[in-house]
Amino acid sequence: MNPEARPGKVLNKKRSYAQFYLELGQSDFLLHTCTTCAMKYAKGDVEDEKLHSTFHKNYTHGIPFKVYLYISSQRIAGCLVAEPIRKAYKIIPCLTNRSSGSTRLKEAVSKPTKLQFGDVCFQREVSKRSPAGRSSTDSNMNFTGAMLCEEEAVRAVCGIRAIWVSPSNRRKGIPIYLLDVVRRSFCDDSVLEHSQLAFSQPTSAGRALASSFAGTDSFLVYKSA
């Protein structure tokens, strides 16, 4: 029999779909949308709940930064960003990273060495002397390398997140001035000591500044969020 001659039969049958899932103790499959901050998160998940709590707080209250500006000739010459913190860690001084620049070395002259090129003879002397003051570059070189911190945290209230000074206004003591303003005005009811300011992962220049301001190599550092 020819298949083409067979009378066709039209099937108008709708398919039904069903979604199945495995119940493994999860509280909800759908993401919950916060009506205030509009963040979507999984209710019951500890990490998502914690992340939403932090985001919601920042959204409703704002990030509590305090910005201090140094104005010179109607232009911003320096900027400091501070934030409230709860804990910090004390730096462990490493003597191998610091040079004894505070002591003046006596001039040491080595034995002269003669260098002769044909008929021309040069007499060379190698001398070492310490300069009267260290430049900022030399000071920064003394703070290179990894920072070692004590394991036990200490209570802290003020963190210095960032400091910036325009190139044309550097070497004028602007960072020290801004840090002093912060310690006097950050807390409404008290004035912080120099050593109570904590610094957020400072660079070599920042470490030199923090050490100079705090008056010690064992200043406070913290990890910004």
DSSP character at residue 107: P
Segment 12-30 shows an average pLDDT of 63
Check residue 93 and give its pLDDT.
81
Nearest of 199, 194, 198 to residue 180 by alpha carbon:
194
Give the per-residue pLDDT at 42.
83
Residue closest to 208 by CA, chosen among 103, 104, 97, 129: 97
Q: What's the mean pLDDT when you consider all of the chain?
A: 76
Look at residue 127 in the predicted model and tell me its pLDDT: 43
CA distance 46 to 122: 77
Tokens found for residue 171: 């070497």
184: three-class secondary structure by DSSP: helix
- Residue 5 amino acid letter: A
C-alpha 222/C-alpha 92 separation (Å) is 14
Residue recorded with tokens 């979507």: 40
**What pLDDT score was predicted for residue 108?**
39
pLDDT for 15 equals 63
CA-based angle 6:12:15, to the nearest 5? 130
Q: What is the dihedral of CA 36, 39, 42, 43, to 10 degrees?
A: -10
Per-residue confidence (pLDDT) for residue 96, from 0 to 100: 39
Label the pairing between strands 113-117 and 120-124. antiparallel
Q: What is the pLDDT of residue 213?
A: 93
Considering only residues 192 and 12, tell me which one the structure prediction assigns the higher pLDDT: 192
Least confident of 104-108, 125-129, 182-186, 192-196: 104-108
Residue 29 is predicted with a pLDDT of: 62
Q: What is the pLDDT of residue 182?
A: 96
48-72 average pLDDT score: 86
pLDDT digits (tens, 9 = 90+) for 76-105: 999 999 999 999 999 988 643 444 444 343
Q: Does the pLDDT at position 22 exceed 60?
A: yes
Q: From 198, 214, 210, 194, select the one nearest 159 (Cα to Cα).
A: 198
- pLDDT at residue 137 is higher than 70: no
Q: pLDDT by residue (tens digit) across 63-74?
A: 678 999 999 999
pLDDT at 130 over 50: no
Record the pTM. Answer: 0.57
pLDDT band with cut points at 50, 70 and 90 for residue 11: low
For residue 203, which of 154, 153, 139 has the smallest C-alpha distance?
139
pLDDT at 115 over 80: no
